[in-house]
Structure 1
Amino acid sequence: MGFIADVKAMKDIARIKSGGTAKLSISQITCLITNIPDAQKNLSRSEFESVYALYKELRKCNTKMEMDKYGYIDTAVTIIKKFDEIAPYVKYSGGNELEFSFMMDDIRKGSGLSDIFNTQKRKEIVFDDEDQKYMDYIVEQSLGQVNQDDAHEIMRVIYHYHEYGKAAALKEFDNIAKKLIEKNGLDAIFKISFISGLFYPNGILTKEESDELGKKYTNQLIEIELQNIN
């Protein structure tokens, strides 16, 4: 990954922060959130060698993934966790905004190196004709509550469940729900309730868990609306 690509990544991140999406690689994000000269200056020799070894390894990950701001933040935080396990990230963040945007105690709560590399696999999901038929069925059954984009997001949750388990599926759904809430406000209740209701027939949750999940986000939305009124 060269200098020109890294400069372009800065523009792509600006687009993401403005509410859009862009394709970024782990290599580009790693370059933008770490400062190797600072690491060499502020760390011990052994710490720097370990940090630089991880840096070089991550710079090999050049597959680009379509990201919104949630995907970008999740990936950046995962990378920061790994660096911070080796030596305090604050010493070579270069004054990066992520240093101030996230509580370091939270960033330090667990993360395996495999999570970083699996980020690529988790983002790149290709659905076949049978999947598309099911997405069409979802849209039809929703009676206007969800569209094809929503159905695609639902399939991502189902995919994550079968590939990575229940926890990963619920994390993916949480990201989707946050985007829906941000975009649709109180109207997101209907979409989220419908989507969470699909997790029972697809084996992700029990009927009771599915109902509770829908209530959880409904309550969140109501609280947000009340705060806006006040």
Structure 2
Amino acid sequence: MVKDKLTSYKFPPPKAYIPALSNQTKNTLFNKVRIFTLIICLICSFSSEVNAQKILICDAVTRFPIKDVEVKADRILVGRTSYLGEIILPKTFNVVSFRSNGYLLETLYRNEVPRDTMFLYPSENTLNEVVVWGKYRVNVDQISSNMPRRDLKDFGYIAPVKKLINGSYDVATMLDKRLRRDRKHVTKLREIFEKLDGKDPIERAYTKEVEENNVRNVNR
């Protein structure tokens, strides 16, 4: 009977022996975990700095940093500058805007953003838009007489030669003027030669040639 009870009794499994850790071992493990966590944080912060861009925003006149400048990237608020005028921009964006009281709104594309320093201009005594109208007048009489006539025509001070409908120059008028000029020149030359010997120069040359031929024939 007793034997049957002993055989039917189930003994509990033996407990695993876990040695007690000393304080030095605990401190060593804690330091290792702390160092590992610090390394992970440094890696994450380094990767975030690589992806982002840190810029400094200053006054364009005084060159001092501007704090509390509202910065938006693609119309999404990124943040405000610190008292040192610094802010970190995201890695990817298309348009970024800088707004601050007393300064003009500045909106730039991604490729226009400077690498390190951004300047804002004070809005005091500044006009947003200026329209200037003017008319330049020139007195032709005051133009230098040494200026070529061709340049005067090119600049519109002298009307160009009249053209036909097809765009070609009026050749007939040009030749007619040249013909009248040549006729006057020939007439003056004839008058000069007539005063010299009373003969036409062509007739005189012909007469001289005939006389020379007659002399050659006689000598033969």
Q: TM-score range by the shorter chain?
A: under 0.3
* TM-score for both structures, normalised by structure 2: 0.21
Q: Which one has a larger percent strand, Structure 1 or Structure 2? A: 2
Higher helix share: 1
Tell me which of the two structures has the higher relative contact order, counting C-alpha pairs closer than 8 angstroms and 6 or more residues apart.
1
